[in-house]
Chain A
């Protein structure tokens, strides 16, 4: 074992040429000269130096090249919210069509496009990306670090997501939007029944968004495991970080399934494979298995981050840590595991062996247990605490009421006989909007209100927030509760109209009125968001008096997040360190550097250089994007596109200066 003189501990001294050894020693001397934060370099002087080191180039190039997780997270959130609005407009169009029986406002084929675009946009372009975007923004702040791991991969992920969303919506505007449902069942989506390019556009949108989601998942998992502040053991990790860790792992295991399936679909359509072609011994049900092996975990990928939001809000507004922290963590993990054993309950109507029915029914009922546990933990937290009914907390209460209703209808349709009766009716539509809007969108709007001051530096208006919440909550119930009844009356999903005289007129009219109230609430939320940007009260670092580390820095946070890396000694660091915050020092200030800690105990492990801003992630995303889009038209695109991708990726990783530096840097 050598000393640290050459900076390379653990290497035997053998076989190092004299010239290299001399260079090692010179670099070790230079290393001692590097400026680092500490008692001698702190306050305004330190902040100015860090600002100079960390800021990105200005202008359009800098905008495309940025690797700042806060900028990327913001873009993710805003883009996803725009897709939410677009998907919402489609919903309004459908509700307008369904307001009255025998309506001819929208044709049957256009209606097929509308519900396909609505579902695909909401699931792939809004729900998953918005959760990832919020995590990308807030997780490093919550963990007390300066950046995500792999910041360039993070940037690449955003551009892939953006291009996928643009492709889908441009295709829709050009009248080649998909019309096969968000699940694209074969044989309907296969070459025989969907000629043209609509189904291919859907399949490639999947490829784009899965690449983006998988990249973001790797970024988040690594960030959560390796970059936590010293002392933040796994046991002290905030519940939102736990939720995102579980979600990241779930994405890694589930998204390959839909990517593989959509790859098979496009190759059936484009180069004549027979995976789903029954005439050549393929099987349409193979599609359903692969799709739902992704599709069911997907629901929890959307829901678990929202439970993280609920834990965060409940803790802050009840002024005490969440009741039974360990139980909540175990509930998150077991939900994540159970989510992979449920997919077949989407396929009860396809015919299954008896044992299959029993197994997937019991598994579907079992998953209610950990979720129920979490809900009881939040209720206990409120019971034991002193709840403040600010807007984020209202959303939590709205969430609990709505989600419990949706959860209960979920448990009853886990029973096969009832499911066979209600399958493909509006009862199912009511159920999954209760769990997805109640379970994910309510907490999302709550958490946006909660973290808005951190992101923008200003508070959202409380009055507008409360008006918006009540409109949304009541409008939602008005829109979706009657759907239980239209479903029980036998109204099928995905059908563009219904005849008069079956008792469907009233529930449908109520649903449509409710949908417009919801839209009004969303408009109020957006107005609140925009006006508060300019007129909101100045927030200060910790306006809610919360306990986690994202509130230990200014609002909005500086580009380097924290001047010194905080040390964590308890679950609620800011409540337990009112006077002063313990920090570690010694990160360099002339180049971007972050601290890595060990996975379980979070003891300091390594100093890690961070990459400078770079255009190559954007260029790589363009190269990959061109291949994905052109491969809709010719399989040769894959062959010709490989070279530009290889060049772009190599340039991404290749060091810009091929000489050694005292400390590693990534240019």
Chain B
């Protein structure tokens, strides 16, 4: 038979949300970051594996990608961290008006970056069908584009949600906090991708 309960503590006074590693959301986000990070690391490994077979990099008859679009992208995405940090701080301070003002800025920045990403594909100086070099460069850029579009979609939905009365709920503010954390990851991962695509072929 089931043993009788012996009552010890009462936990009804515990909070129903916290920022950071106490929350389940944080662990879920970290889990998916590690998964995506593993995808990127393996794609980088494939890049160097294929590079090891070649005499030159890019292989003969190919030109390294043009720098303009990718560098512009890099500057904007790193600059966006200023707004992103402001949003993160506002979430932790329950400063909903600031969040409502700044989240749309991130949505617009996201659109701008996605457009530039289109130009980046165009400035690779190769098509994915050309050779293995072209395939892996396209794949890595596409992987990061997926990353970018996913987070943008997430930010759009969150922005909509923050214009409703539930914006003042603690758990929604945790969502804002985690969305900012994720955006940091998107641009941090971009830095090695940028170096790999644009600068390793120029070494």
Contact = CB atoms under 8 A, between A and B. Distances in A.
Given A7-B16, A286-B49, A149 B132 contact: no
Interface string B133-158: 11110110000000000000100010
A607 B12 CA distance: 8
Interface in A209-230: 214, 217-218, 221-222, 225-226, 230
Contact of A664 (B17, B59, B129): B17
A252 B46 contact: no
Given A282-B135, A596-B22, A606-B14, A580 B161 contact: no
B192 interface: no
Contacts of A230: 9, 11
A14 B93 contact: yes
A477 interface: no
Given A11-B93, A586-B12, A581 B3 contact: yes
Contacts of A565: 11
Contacts of B31: 217-218, 221-222, 252
A577 B92 CA distance: 43
Given A36-B12, A222-B27, A585 B7 contact: yes
Interface residues of B, number: 67
B170 A8 contact: yes
A620 to B, nearest CB: 14
B87 to A, nearest CB: 15
Interface string B2-22: 111111111111111110011
B28 A218 contact: yes
B155 to A, nearest CB: 12
B1 interface: yes
Contact of A281 (B53, B153, B166): B53
B199 to A, nearest CB: 21
Contacts of A24: 168
Contacts of A658: 164-166
B94 A11 contact: yes
For the complex of A and B, the 4 pairs showing the least CB-CB separation, nearest first, are A586-B12, A273-B135, A218-B31, A256-B38
A367 interface: no
Contact of B8 (A11, A253, A267, A584): A584
Contacts of A582: 5-8
B114 interface: no
A45 interface: no
Contacts of A221: 27, 31
Contacts of B2: 541, 552-554
Contacts of A14: 93, 95
Interface residues of A, number: 93
Contacts of B22: 596, 598, 605-606
B39 interface: yes
Nearest to B157: A650
B43 interface: yes
B184 interface: no
B12 A580 contact: no
A273 B166 contact: no
B119 interface: no
B66 interface: no
Contacts of A272: 128-129
A149 B49 contact: no
Nearest to B94: A11
Given A282-B132, A660-B169, A583 B8 contact: yes
B44 to A, nearest CB: 11
Contacts of A226: 24, 27
B35 interface: yes
A257 B16 contact: no
B72 interface: no
Given A218-B28, A272-B129, A584 B1 contact: no
Contacts of B157: 650, 653-654
Nearest to B46: A286
Given A7-B170, A221-B31, A584-B11, A281 B50 contact: yes
B75 interface: no
Given A11-B93, A217-B31, A581-B3, 12 more contacts: A4-B13, A7-B16, A260-B46, A267-B135, A273-B135, A274-B134, A275-B139, A280-B130, A582-B6, A604-B9, A608-B24, A654-B157
